[in-house]
Amino acid sequence: MEYFYDGTKPKKKEKSHGKLVVQQRMRLAMGFLHPLRPIIAETWLLQGDGNKSKAFGRALKKLMQDGIEGQYPEQYILPDRVAISLGLLPGVTIEEVAISEQLVEVYFSSNENPLSRNTDEVVLIAYSPELQMAGKNERTYYRKEEYLAMELPVHFADGFFHLYLYVRSAKGNQYSKSIYLGGFEGYRGSNRQ
């Protein structure tokens, strides 16, 4: 007998090029943002209407729209276009980023603005996609200090990592758009931006 239909055999239907492109973009965006999920849930909460899952979904959508370049199958993420936080609170102006051994120091300035307060907190995020690790400064630094420092974990000594900075209000209900400070090699490697 010659079979013209067999329900036991899986169907081999090739996926369309468009579907493959979107799937790769989604995988790249999810892989990059997943370790940052707790931060994004907090900083994108207003955009997510108070829902953490919706907040992460909005951050994911923005990354897929603005932060991925290249043609399938060689698409890649542009870390400087990733928005760790998003909001109307005025940010700061970065003056200098210094890395020595395991210490990151950031010097910044802030212009007078009716929306900003001296008590706004400045948060530094160190993130290594290779290690799937991210962390933020433990001590609270304020806008008026114009300086912050963070000790890097030992894991970052050999790997490549990104630095992001954002400002949040003292009440924690308003955020600035995150600032990308650059990509750096660990202190056992050479710095590159």
How many CA within 13 A on the CB side of residue 137? 21
Q: Chain-wide mean pLDDT for the chain?
A: 91
Residue 107 pairs with which residues in a beta bridge? Answer: 96, 147
For residue 135, the model assigns a pLDDT of: 94
User: Which pLDDT score is estimated for 49?
Assistant: 85
Average pLDDT estimate for 73-94: 96
Proportion of the chain above pLDDT 90, given as a percent: 76
Q: Which of 164, 168, 95 is nearest to 136 (CA)?
A: 164
Q: Which helix (H) or strand (E) holds 77?
A: strand 76-77
Under DSSP, is residue 41 helix (H, G, I), strand (E, B) or coil? helix
Per-residue tokens: 140: 């609270």
Rounded alpha-carbon distances, angstroms, from residue 193 to 97, 163, 181: 11, 10, 9
Please name the residue that has the structure tokens 């329900």.
7
Average pLDDT (101-128) is 94
pLDDT for res 1: 59
The pLDDT, as a whole number, for residue 9 is 72
Domain ranges of the chain: 15-78, 84-193
pLDDT of residue 191: 47
- Percent composition of the chain: helix, strand, coil (DSSP 3-state, to 5): 25, 30, 45
Taking 70 as the threshold, does the pLDDT of residue 81 lie above it? yes
The domain defined by 84-193 folds into Immunoglobulin-like (2.60.40)
